[in-house]
A and B are shown apart, each in its own frame.
Chain A
């Protein structure tokens, strides 16, 4: 997917004037916010679990190579294969290679943000294969040729009515006069259509919420059970996962799962939590003949040892975007690529470069709500600030802003001059604004006065008045 992250302001404007989207955004995030809060409140040790989650991942990141190698040897021991991929292209080629070797035509897919990151669907299609998304949300947006707008709810930007329209357009073999006004009916229809595809699939691709080093297992959580059918029915199961998803033990996995379900959907556990450990063994009733794990780095290891390392603790729960007022205003597509919301504002510059993604870490008020709910306690605003520092160092910020702040700072370093200059400026501005108490327009402040008035200053600075009073006190 071609990023349009550089065009964030235009993307945002478009999203803001999209009434259909605004209607969805006005209600949808609140549901997530409330459910997460209830789940967190119900679990007295939730805050302590967050500390444990943070510490666990910090430990993992300090020993990443050890755990990944331990994982690999377990997978291999059990008859599976691990493919180490430095870049998105290497991962695409690895997956295509596996599909080709299996003579695959149809590939079913569970929901996976990493597969979006590497753009696997387009690649497989371009190479003559038919990828089919089996997660309901992913299936809907695949039919609509749209990217996901949320990391756990890919069709977050759509209403029930939108989905109905999409299904009527796509499922032309079903009676046109059928009633499709209930989400349950929509799900049932998708299930019927997908059931046939599951049976045709030669390869099933899933993501991984976790990889477990001690057992060589990968873990996915879903609420639809589609992941199970995706990985059990086809002959070949491919797991695509990024390297930071590893944890040492089953117990560690349980810790992450407890945090994940509550932070993501407010559930105590997702409806389906599926562990995959190697291919089918003799005597197993089902399972794939081949088991492959495609391990993607794609710039992540370059963050180790930098001020951005902590972002690799992310478990992709989506809580940060559910609570983000900027995401709530513009939705996920405005972020222009795979990862929206605060997590996107931190990792997209890492994956795409600051030139492409520099707007995102700037498009934040640093309100801190994301950090307040992040189960892994990632200091997201601080990391966004670090990106701003990188941009500043590279001189990438708008010249007017840089000059304005530079001038401000020049005075601020010289208290006597600062107080004299502000005194004069405020006297002038105060005199101008006295009539109404505010300005509807002000030169050099159009960004402000485009949408709101500028309250007028009182006319004297506090420092000036304080100095005047001191004589009298």
Chain B
């Protein structure tokens, strides 16, 4: 960033799963953004982006929640989301959801244009190349579907992870294949979902990594839950935790 430009004002969209299950990710995101020179605010009027309703066919509720989010995040330079899935919902699906609503279509577009997934925001928009973190371990990285295919998050996390001291990345074969989470999919079709996550954990173990990272809490809860059920000692964390060097919280699914 140029020296004298005013700090970008960033609204953090926390996401339900980070808010409820893993506040650590929220604080890691705040730290990464502040270290990169942003002013971060967390509007308390935010709740859920509405994706569960949207993907369950409840368009009306999805629209209402979209309006709520849009209103909560007006006025920020950027809106940053530590999730490709919720980020994709805001960036890709809000404009489509509200396209026929004259009062909201433009506001949806405006929010969409300012919204970014956390890691790609750091790398692509802020030009961060090194987060100054240290992590002693061998990690492997799973590309979450929405981040990858809706938002093009692929090499940004790898680029930033490469700057983390002490960290080795062992690439995950089939890193782009879905882990089987899929929101309500995993409880509606538990057996199919299980087959998918089983294949994923087998690949993860095959990398010999001691840590699994990804950018989406849904996938992380799914993969961590399966690894723990299988008795694996592999640690599971959100990529933001490692990039921010915020790793004093126990890994996902482990006791403090």
Q: Which residues of A are at the interface with B, using a C-beta cutoff of 8 A?
A: 9, 12-13, 16, 325-326, 329-330, 362-369, 371-372, 385, 387-393, 397-398, 401-402, 405-406, 408-409, 411-413, 415-416, 418-419, 422, 425-426, 434-438, 440, 445, 447-448, 450-458, 460-463, 465-467
Contacts and interface: CB of A to CB of B under 8 A. Distances in A.
Which residue, A325, A397, A419, A456, has most C-beta atoms of chain B within 10 A?
Answer: A325
B206 to A, nearest CB: 14
Contacts of B26: 462, 465-466
Contacts of B145: 365-369
A385 B184 CA distance: 13
B14 interface: yes
Interface stretch (B153-161, B175-183, B207-215): B175-183
B47 A418 contact: yes
A412 B150 CA distance: 24
Interface stretch (B73-81, B102-110, B223-231): B223-231
A371 B145 CA distance: 12
Nearest to B225: A452
Contacts of B253: 437-438, 453, 455-456
B186 A447 contact: yes
Given A405-B56, A437-B254, A463 B195 contact: no
Contact of A368 (B20, B150, B196): B150
A451 B46 contact: no
A460 B24 CA distance: 10
A466 B44 CA distance: 10
Give the interface residue-count category, chain B.
35 or more
A396 to B, nearest CB: 9
Contacts of B250: 437
Contacts of B149: 367-369, 371-372
B136 interface: no
9 contacts: A366-B145, A366-B182, A367-B182, A371-B149, A389-B58, A405-B56, A409-B64, A412-B47, A413-B65
B242 interface: no
Q: Determine chain B's interface SS by DSSP, over half rule.
A: helix
Interface string B197-226: 101000000000000000000000110111
B52 interface: yes
A462 B25 CA distance: 9
Which residue, A412, A437, A457, has most C-beta atoms of chain B within 10 A?
Answer: A412
A411 B61 CA distance: 11
Given A397-B57, A419-B44, A458-B249, A426 B185 contact: no
B131 interface: no
A458 B225 contact: no
Nearest to B59: A389
A390 B57 contact: yes
B133 interface: no
Interface string B222-256: 10111011000000000000000000011011111
A346 to B, nearest CB: 14
Interface in B182-196: 182-196
A466 B145 CA distance: 29
Contact of A13 (B54, B61, B191, B254): B191
Interface in B103-153: 145-146, 149-150
A393 to B, nearest CB: 8
Contacts of A465: 23, 26-27
A368 B56 contact: no
B46 A16 contact: no
A297 to B, nearest CB: 27
Contacts of B183: 365-366
A409 B53 contact: yes
Nearest to B14: A462
Nearest to B72: A415
A241 B118 CA distance: 49
B192 A329 contact: yes
B48 interface: yes
B213 to A, nearest CB: 15
A19 to B, nearest CB: 13
B146 A368 contact: yes
B50 interface: yes
B182 A415 contact: no
Contacts of A452: 194, 197, 222, 225-226, 228-229
Given A367-B178, A392-B57, A455 B188 contact: no
Given A369-B178, A437-B256, A457-B21, A401 B188 contact: yes
Contact of B44 (A329, A364, A368, A415): A415
A413 to B, nearest CB: 6
Which 3 pairs between the two chains have the least Cβ-Cβ distance? A365-B182, A447-B187, A388-B57
Contacts of B22: 457-458
Contacts of A362: 185, 188-189
A438 B255 CA distance: 8
Contacts of B65: 409, 412-413
Given A366-B55, A422-B19, A438-B228, A412 B256 contact: no
B45 interface: yes
Which residue, A12, A456, A467, has most C-beta atoms of chain B within 10 A?
Answer: A456
B21 A458 contact: yes
A463 B187 contact: no
A369 B191 CA distance: 21
Contacts of B19: 422, 461-463
